[in-house]
Structure 1
Amino acid sequence: MPRIESTAARLAKLGFADGARAAHLVRQSGVELDDLLEGLVDVADPDLALASLTRLAERDPGVPALLRADERLNARLLAVLGVSDTLGEHLVRHPGQVGLLAVPELGEARAELLRAVGADPAAAEPRAQAPDALVALRIAYRGRLLHLAARDLNGEATLGEVTSELSDLAGAALEAALAIARAETGSDDVRLAVIGMGKCGARELNYISDVDVIFVAEPRDGADETKALRAATRLAQAMMRACSTATSEGSLWEVDAGLRPEGRSGPLVRTLASHLAYYRRWAKTWEFQALLKARPVAGDMELGAAYVEAVNELVWSAATRENFVEDVQAMRRRVEAHVRAEGERQIKLGPGGLRDIEFAVQLLQLVHGRLDPLLRRRATLPALAALSRGGYVGRDDSRGMAEAYAFLRKVEHLLQLHRLRRTHVLPSGADDLRRLGRALGMHTDPVGEFTARWRRHAMEARRLHEKLFYRPLLQAVARLPDTEARLSTTAAVARLQALGYVDPNGALRHLAALTTGVSRRAAIQRTLLPVMLGWFADTPDPDAGLLGFRQVSDKLGATPWYLRLLRDETAVAARMARVLGSSRYATGLLMHAPEAVALLGSDEDLAARSAESLRGEASAAVSRHGGDAETAVASVRALRRRELFRIAVADISGLVDIERVGVALSSLNDITIQAALDAAASKVRAELGADLPTRFAVIAMGRLGGLESSYASDADVMFVHSPEPGAAEDDATRAAFAIANELRRLLSLPAPDPPLLIDPDLRPEGRQGPLVRTLASYRAYYARWSSPWESQALLRARFSAGDPELGSAFVSMIDELRYPAAGLPDDSVREIRRLKARMEAERLPRGADPALHTKLGPGGLSDVEWVAQLLQLRFAGSVTSLRTTRTLDALRAAEREGLLAAPDEVVLGEAWRFVSRIRDAIMLVKGRPGDSVPGVARERRLIAQTLGYPLDGSEDFLDDYRRVTRRARQVVDRVFYGS
């Protein structure tokens, strides 16, 4: 008794759940404890293994000697007994099969199973002769299953080898069952082929699974087709019974023919012609998805091969069916709905399960495989690898999905091996989870480790499923006609012309440059471009879009994230096509900042960043580069370029209106000026070797002051400084001049970034006056010399950059000038009207059509702005709501205060917004500024389309421009000129 207790304690310490019982079993087994321990402590369930081994030794006392004599047999047997209770039971019934585990590899399964049922493997159509063939088939099948499981659990076979061998074993069993059926029915006048479907067809079968099949029959020469089909049906039914009938050795598995045409309502057996007629006329989307896996596995292999060859043509064109992608996605959602009761623990059909991976892979295959034969693989992992090699799935995504799939399949096998039952639901009991974890090599904390690893793989599988399975690119590719999708040179020219490409031959050259070769980059672009050609065709300038795409791809194609982003985030590719085909300006910005492609992903990414955030980034850039002013400002200008691209894309995409565009551009200019001012001041301070002797501020004027900057706007500014207490005024002035000049120089240096030209010509005395003045000098000048136009110009003055206190003092100082308390005298009103009339007559560029000039023409920007400014000069002294630098805000305030009729405010506001949009659109489309509606029809069409007009809407656009400006001019004549 003490010896047993000592052994029990030792076994308990080694991980046996019940040490005393285990010790008792050891004594019963007849095997020395030390002979067993090394193998037992590493198996999945030592208690289960020991219990089965004890029963086996009782049945065959020679087993312990076999274990001691053969290390391979020992390792294989204990691995199986530690996982599978049912295979342990089988060995107890048939201990002679223990010797199979000593054999390195078994012979061909088909021949062995046929011999087991008494059939001749060499016969064309073998017939079973064994008296109890059903039992013999099951015993032989389980023996081979035992051998495979032992190699699998002992790490001697890969997952792919296991699933392939299981599939081939199932095919061999079907062949043996067919031999039994032939002996039973005696059918001789029909050829019958058994087509493996699902996992059997793909050679990725589980240990225990229904075997999905389809039966195809043909009468032999001279036989009656109707009689032959009846005979084939009897033969198929008998074969199915031979597999599923319960015997003293149980059954094999169910043979499921539910995937046949019309499902269980249709005939069990059809001819090849009948199958094809059904598929061509009646088949649903899911049936083509199922046929992807079809493979002849038993019976007449020649007929089976003919069937598979015929249906493959239909399978690989199925993606062109209407709503194909949507149907597959809907079917997956229905499957998920049916398994919700089992929740996340369903590792096959639930979220993050095997079906998530399989459906995603199959959908990608069916959509892209019609053009790429290399994707036509039946099994999931080889197909996933082909999708990755072809660039349809990212390498990391492919790796993550493959790892999740392999893990889940191994778990599925372990679940099924335990009782040889068809199950896909993870257990919740600790003992069962412990067995799973240990079988997978987790010994420290098997339950915790297994649970964490399973959840990680399931989450990754679900994430990748949703990313790939619902990828919008799939719908786009599936809907492409073959003439577009294949990009064949002969048909492509006509097709490109029909799509609206002006230079189809040039487009073909771009396509060839982008897609030729075997690189991953070329492969991904071959997938993207057929779709993007259509997207380019929907833009104003498809040729420019394709050219821009080639230029950006030439710069970024080798960057790992770029093409992956376009392929996986279809919204990015679609928006990029829209931008490149609409705007040379945005394309130019992208050429020098191609990484900005990443901004195209969502509307949120295109939302204007807060001024505080941008100001902080710009300030950090200046600080980072220390005393190198040019490098610091170059960094800030690069930031500005990126933000200009963000604003332009949001504008093109209709996410911002013209007022918000103006505010965003003006705010960005303020931040750029502030950063450049910081760099300039730092440089001047370093040159002086002392603190600056003056404070400095930049006053925004014109459109910048009105927060109405356009893409083409210069920065109209004035510079003001104020000497520090005790500083000599001459020193202060020299320092201020140095800062102003350095600021202008830094922002105009040649660079790939758009320059921000500083225009100080609205200062007192214009170009003849000093560039910088003190606050006192401005006050003296305005008090003595100011003219009405200067008061008018100051209506838009606001602090932009520099010393806020000084800026605020300047703005307060000019308020009494631009908002006169007594209003505007009549002679000043007349002078402003004369000035406006003279400007209309003299400033219009030579040869410009006044009716189409957006700034100086009738009803243009100048007209509307001067109305607002005259109202401000006349009434802002007493009506404080008019004190704004913004045109539309001034008009709205005038309407609220009863100074402007509501209909007039609507007309003027509409004209200002419409004309401002046109001026911005000209810059966006052409990449250079322009003030006139283009007279050239093609240019006008591009502008119109960018503004949202249809392809043939150029004349409508022109009519709208004339109508809007004509109505605005009528208001101007009445309100401004008093006509």
Structure 2
Amino acid sequence: MTAARQSALDRLTANAPFLARLAELYPDDVARFLADGVDAALAQLVPPPADDDIMPALRRWRGRTALLLALGDLSGEHDVAATTRHLSAFADAACDAALAAAFAERVPREAPRGIAVIALGKLGSHELNYSSDIDPILIFDPDTMPRRSRDDPDEAAVRIARRMVEILSARTADGHVLRVDLRLRPHPEVTPIVLPESAAISYYESEALAWEQAAFIRSRASAGDRALGQHFLDAIQPFIWRRSLDFRQLKEIGAMSDRIRDHFAQGQAFGPGFDLKRGRGGIREIEFFAQVHQLIYGGRDPSLRVPATVDALAALAGAGRIDADIATRLADHYAVLRRIEHRLQMIEDQQTHSLPVQPAALDAVARLDGAPDGAALLATLEPVVTDVGAVYDRLVAERAVARGLPTGEVELAGALAAAGFDPPDAALRTIAEWRGGKARALRSPAALEALETVLPELVRALGAAPDPDAALIRFDKLVAGLPSAVGFFHLLAAQPALAKIATRILALAPALSDALAARVELIEGLIDARAFEAPASKAELLAEWAPTLAGLDYERLLDRVRDRVGERRFAYGVQLIAGSTDPLIVARGYADLAEAALQVLADATVAEFVAAHGRVPDSELVVLALGRLGGSALTHASDLDLIYLFTGDHLAESDGPRPLGATTYYNRLAQRVTAAMSVPTAAGKLYDVDVRLRPSGAQGPLVVTVDSFDRYQREEAWTWEHMALLRARAVYGGDAARAEVGRVIEKVLTAPRDRAAVAADAATMRDKIAAHKPPQGALDIKGGPGGLVDLEFAMQTEQLASGRCRDPHIPTALACLEAAGLAPAGMGTAHALLARMLVMLRLTAPEGAPATAAARQLVASACGEPGWPQLLAAHDAARQEVGDWWAAIRSAAPQEEKEE
């Protein structure tokens, strides 16, 4: 290590005049470095006091720090990340010292407070260059900033801020401390150098530009009143991290890089004179690559909101947003480019980023870095910038905009016909109306510009739809309902794959089309490739939602859960439309989604209720799911069949400030849980909740004790209610409470029964259902002869009569019954086909309407059949099998059916 330290000193002395002068000024620091290493030497440096000697003292401190950090870097004791961290920490401390001195001069004996330094750029991400400007924004709080009695607060803040900047950046015989660039503040040409916090918040909430959003990715309260600075940053988080993407802004951010490439054209060609920061394949392109992906995904994924470039690349790769190999390569390249950038700046303490043109100067940079000459340095850098440039070029290509559609009618008609509109007349008319601003969303120049940007890809996608004209009509309806189309069109232009997905939705899935028309931002969730992965489990959903739901008040929580469920439900529907996931797996996903929502909302509702009324001792709410939720197999629009119970003594009373008797307590609580799950809010509707399966039906109380439920099921319940219990599952409540309810259900379902009586009761109930709700056409998968209702009645009759195979999940129960010889072989296969058809038809043909011609092939493929005729044949065969099984069970019942 001693040899490495001496080598660093020798290279520094020979090739970096600025550092060589510092080594002569501070020989004790050099000696300590050589003897003990850079960290030990740095530990001896302390910030100077805020006194009359502040300017020369800060400059001496800066010189010693610069010397030691250069030695630590050149010797390899510090890598690039450590060096930039130390440089950033020095800048923070220097700003604190300068601000304290400015306050001391103006208001002696007052602690410096009420002015905050918000670091942006490399200082904001702890990545400061060796010889860099700092780019802060200064804000102040007039209520807490100390000032003279007659001072205007705005004027006093400006004077203190100006003095702080002077202390840092004025060049004296001792040099300077930091160059301070305040031009990143709002409207720098007209605003003072320090802004009131309220004015700054207002600006970023309403007026800020695209580049400012990108700049604040790397921001922090770095000096001064950090509590004030953090309060400001917390207030503008929605500006920085937007859940609703603005691809117009992303387009502008990308254009910034293009303009930089154009403006610094002389530094683009690799070789002597190459600009390491702004050149093609340089530092800025790695930073932009990370920031663009952070802007796209960070609004929805807080784990990506990390300021440092290398950390951001790792987070993006870890979250699956970028390829892990690309992230690793770019991180390695970033370290190389930043290291050489430091070498350039060490030579004469200049904020330069360009390799020297003169061979001797380039050789000096190379030797400072330990390379033999400039040619060797260029050989190290060339593959780095080539790879970075190629990666960034691909990002630019993904944003590239296709050529526009013709405006002439004849040429446009030809383009539409070529895209698949035959005849093109209706599409011609619709596009003319769009271009004419008929829809309110298309009446601004920005909206029309966005329209022209997306039209080529949109027409191609619509023309490729199974029914182009129908898809166009639905898209037109969607546009007509938008308050603004700018962001939506820019999104489709930036992500052409989404245009294809959107047109499939419009052509094939009316339910998803309606959801998209109500919340057009739902399409943004599909940018994430994980939207097409297998649906998440309840536990995964709860873990994913927890960070974004923590700390919300009740009303905001209701809206946020509706947002999250709507996004997931939409994504699951799109998986069905894309044919990427088995409908049975999606059905399970829909159920897990509903359970997760119930868990979150019931927890929040209970907490609200406890705050007002306390808890009932030794008692809790239990929610029992029946029907499709109990069986963990929902469709896109299923309602939830729930029964509410509570444990403990019904005569007990809650212990809160407004106590209630247990029965009143839980009935009110259950009403609120139902409302939390079902009442529409500003974010829309969640689920319809059906509580009619509770004891005594609509005539009975909403909630009863577990003991009352037990007694009712044993003494009063009809056979059909016990059949319903076969799909019951406790989905909310503590482990012990759910186990208690499970024991009650187990005891009821295993009681001895007369097979003929059960069959007779089931047949009577099935006839009543058929009379009350007759089948709706040949494709009524549930209610028609041999449909899912008949299958469930047959299955549940056998389960009750035998006391066996009592699993709420139908495929598991059927497999058990088949193995026991209690169900015909192949009944599980018949159920799987009908269940898949139900899931698909609920999405593509809601309300019992027949599937459109366009949707039929999709449904057939999802059900494993090559085409619609083959699916109908398989459907008929399955219905025949189910019908035969149910008929056989009915025939075993006595001719005189029991009264139900």
* TM value normalised by structure 2: 0.54
The reply on whether 1:646 has 2:586 as its aligned counterpart is: no
Q: Structure 1, residues 896-948: CA drift from partner, whole Å, max 9, x if none? A: 3333343344334323332443234323xxxxxx2x353xxxx6425425425
On the 8 A contact 1:695/1:723 being kept in 2, the answer is yes
On the 8 A contact 1:717/1:760 being kept in 2, the answer is yes
Instruction: Indicate the residue corresponding to 1:761 in structure 2.
Output: 692
Q: How well do the aligned residues superpose, as a CA RMSD in angstroms?
A: 4.8
What pairs with 1:36-435 in structure 2 (closer than 5 Å)?
A: 394-401=251-258, 403=260, 410=267, 412=269
Which residue among 772, 777, 794 is the counterpart of 1:843? 772
Instruction: Indicate the residue corresponding to 1:941 in structure 2.
Output: 853
The reply on whether 1:734 has 2:660 as its aligned counterpart is: no
Instruction: Indicate the residue corresponding to 2:509 in structure 1.
Output: 583
The reply on whether 1:612 has 2:526 as its aligned counterpart is: no
AA in 1 matched with 2:392: L
Secondary structure at the counterpart of residue 643 of structure 2: strand
The reply on whether 1:664 has 2:589 as its aligned counterpart is: yes
Instruction: Indicate the residue corresponding to 2:812 in structure 1.
Output: 889
On the 8 A contact 1:715/1:756 being kept in 2, the answer is yes
Instruction: Indicate the residue corresponding to 1:748 in structure 2.
Output: 678
Higher relative contact order (CA 8 A, sep 6+): 2
AA in 2 matched with 1:864: L
Instruction: Indicate the residue corresponding to 1:713 in structure 2.
Output: 638
Q: 1:639 to 1:898 in 2, by over 3 A?
A: same
Instruction: Indicate the residue corresponding to 1:972 in structure 2.
Output: 886
The reply on whether 1:488 has 2:412 as its aligned counterpart is: yes
Structure 1, gaps ≥5 residues long: 1-8, 20-389, 418-423, 924-929
Q: 1:657 to 1:852 in 2, by over 3 A?
A: same
Q: Structure 1, residues 765-799: CA drift from partner, whole Å, max 9, x if none? A: 11111211111111111221122111101001001
Displacement after TM superposition at 1:498 (Å): 0.8
Distance in 1 between residues matched to 2:517 and 2:358, nearest whole Å: 51
Displacement after TM superposition at 1:810 (Å): 0.5
Secondary structure at the counterpart of residue 902 of structure 1: coil
On the 8 A contact 1:401/1:460 being kept in 2, the answer is no
Displacement after TM superposition at 1:643 (Å): 1.3
Distance in 2 between residues matched to 1:817 and 1:799, nearest whole Å: 15
Instruction: Indicate the residue corresponding to 1:340 in structure 2.
Output: none
Displacement after TM superposition at 1:496 (Å): 6.8
Q: 1:456 to 1:577 in 2, by over 3 A?
A: farther
Instruction: Indicate the residue corresponding to 2:496 in structure 1.
Output: 570
On the 8 A contact 2:584/2:835 being kept in 1, the answer is no
AA in 2 matched with 1:779: D
AA in 1 matched with 2:816: A
AA in 1 matched with 2:772: R
Which residue among 799, 803, 815 is the counterpart of 2:730? 799
Q: 1:959 to 1:900 in 2, by over 3 A?
A: closer
Q: Structure 1, residues 212-252: CA drift from partner, whole Å, max 9, x if none? A: xxxxxxxxxxxxxxxxxxxxxxxxxxxxxxxxxxxxxxxxx
Q: 1:567 to 1:445 in 2, by over 3 A?
A: farther
Which residue among 762, 785, 792 is the counterpart of 1:832? 762
Q: 1:510 to 1:764 in 2, by over 3 A?
A: same
AA in 1 matched with 2:552: H
Which residue among 548, 551, 563 is the counterpart of 1:624? 551
Instruction: Indicate the residue corresponding to 1:914 in structure 2.
Output: 837
Q: Structure 1, residues 309-342: CA drift from partner, whole Å, max 9, x if none? A: xxxxxxxxxxxxxxxxxxxxxxxxxxxxxxxxxx
Q: Structure 1, residues 11-62: CA drift from partner, whole Å, max 9, x if none? A: 996869xx9xxxxxxxxxxxxxxxxxxxxxxxxxxxxxxxxxxxxxxxxxxx
The reply on whether 1:595 has 2:595 as its aligned counterpart is: no
Distance in 2 between residues matched to 1:741 and 1:437, nearest whole Å: 71
Which residue among 762, 780, 790 is the counterpart of 2:721? 790
The reply on whether 1:774 has 2:705 as its aligned counterpart is: yes
Q: Structure 1, residues 334-378: CA drift from partner, whole Å, max 9, x if none? A: xxxxxxxxxxxxxxxxxxxxxxxxxxxxxxxxxxxxxxxxxxxxx
On the 8 A contact 1:633/1:676 being kept in 2, the answer is yes
Displacement after TM superposition at 1:484 (Å): 11
Distance in 1 between residues matched to 2:557 and 2:818, nearest whole Å: 46
The reply on whether 1:860 has 2:717 as its aligned counterpart is: no
Displacement after TM superposition at 1:490 (Å): 8.7
Q: Structure 1, residues 147-171: CA drift from partner, whole Å, max 9, x if none? A: xxxxxxxxxxxxxxxxxxxxxxxxx
Distance in 2 between residues matched to 1:959 and 1:942, nearest whole Å: 19
Distance in 1 between residues matched to 2:255 and 2:358, nearest whole Å: 22
Displacement after TM superposition at 1:826 (Å): 2.3
Distance in 2 between residues matched to 1:681 and 1:13, nearest whole Å: 73
Q: 1:741 to 1:819 in 2, by over 3 A?
A: same
Distance in 1 between residues matched to 2:536 and 2:425, nearest whole Å: 36
On the 8 A contact 1:699/1:717 being kept in 2, the answer is yes
On the 8 A contact 2:599/2:732 being kept in 1, the answer is yes
Displacement after TM superposition at 1:695 (Å): 0.6
On the 8 A contact 1:714/1:757 being kept in 2, the answer is yes
Distance in 2 between residues matched to 1:457 and 1:631, nearest whole Å: 47
Q: 1:413 to 1:648 in 2, by over 3 A?
A: closer
Displacement after TM superposition at 1:565 (Å): 4.4
AA in 2 matched with 1:601: I
Displacement after TM superposition at 1:413 (Å): 7.8
Which residue among 445, 453, 464 is the counterpart of 2:392? 464
Q: Structure 1, residues 845-888: CA drift from partner, whole Å, max 9, x if none? A: 4xx555342221112221222222223223344xxxx2311222
- The alignment covers a number of residue pairs equal to 563
AA in 2 matched with 1:400: S
The reply on whether 1:683 has 2:595 as its aligned counterpart is: no
On the 8 A contact 2:625/2:729 being kept in 1, the answer is yes
Percent identity (aligned): 20
Distance in 2 between residues matched to 1:856 and 1:945, nearest whole Å: 23
Distance in 2 between residues matched to 1:506 and 1:488, nearest whole Å: 12
Distance in 2 between residues matched to 1:933 and 1:493, nearest whole Å: 31
Distance in 1 between residues matched to 2:540 and 2:669, nearest whole Å: 25
Secondary structure at the counterpart of residue 778 of structure 2: helix
Secondary structure at the counterpart of residue 581 of structure 1: helix
On the 8 A contact 2:590/2:635 being kept in 1, the answer is yes
Distance in 2 between residues matched to 1:777 and 1:722, nearest whole Å: 10
On the 8 A contact 1:693/1:731 being kept in 2, the answer is no
AA in 2 matched with 1:463: V
On the 8 A contact 1:775/1:810 being kept in 2, the answer is yes
Distance in 2 between residues matched to 1:500 and 1:957, nearest whole Å: 33
Instruction: Indicate the residue corresponding to 1:498 in structure 2.
Output: 422
AA in 2 matched with 1:825: R
Q: Structure 1, residues 831-854: CA drift from partner, whole Å, max 9, x if none? A: 2123223432x1234xx5553422
The reply on whether 1:438 has 2:356 as its aligned counterpart is: yes
Instruction: Indicate the residue corresponding to 1:695 in structure 2.
Output: 620
After TM superposition, the structure 1 stretch with the greater mean CA deviation from structure 2, 536-545 or 778-787, is 536-545
AA in 2 matched with 1:738: R
Q: 1:491 to 1:673 in 2, by over 3 A?
A: closer
Distance in 1 between residues matched to 2:636 and 2:814, nearest whole Å: 23
Displacement after TM superposition at 1:736 (Å): 0.4
On the 8 A contact 2:541/2:596 being kept in 1, the answer is yes
Secondary structure at the counterpart of residue 840 of structure 2: helix
Secondary structure at the counterpart of residue 665 of structure 1: helix
Secondary structure at the counterpart of residue 438 of structure 1: coil
Instruction: Indicate the residue corresponding to 2:222 in structure 1.
Output: none
Secondary structure at the counterpart of residue 856 of structure 1: coil
Distance in 1 between residues matched to 2:890 and 2:601, nearest whole Å: 40
Q: 1:463 to 1:487 in 2, by over 3 A?
A: farther
Displacement after TM superposition at 1:594 (Å): 3.2
AA in 2 matched with 1:776: D
Distance in 2 between residues matched to 1:746 and 1:487, nearest whole Å: 54
Instruction: Indicate the residue corresponding to 2:454 in structure 1.
Output: 528
Secondary structure at the counterpart of residue 628 of structure 2: helix
AA in 2 matched with 1:637: R
Structure 2, gaps ≥5 residues long: 1-9, 21-246, 275-280, 282-336, 348-353, 370-376, 655-659, 894-900
Which residue among 798, 801, 813 is the counterpart of 2:744? 813
Q: 1:484 to 1:638 in 2, by over 3 A?
A: farther
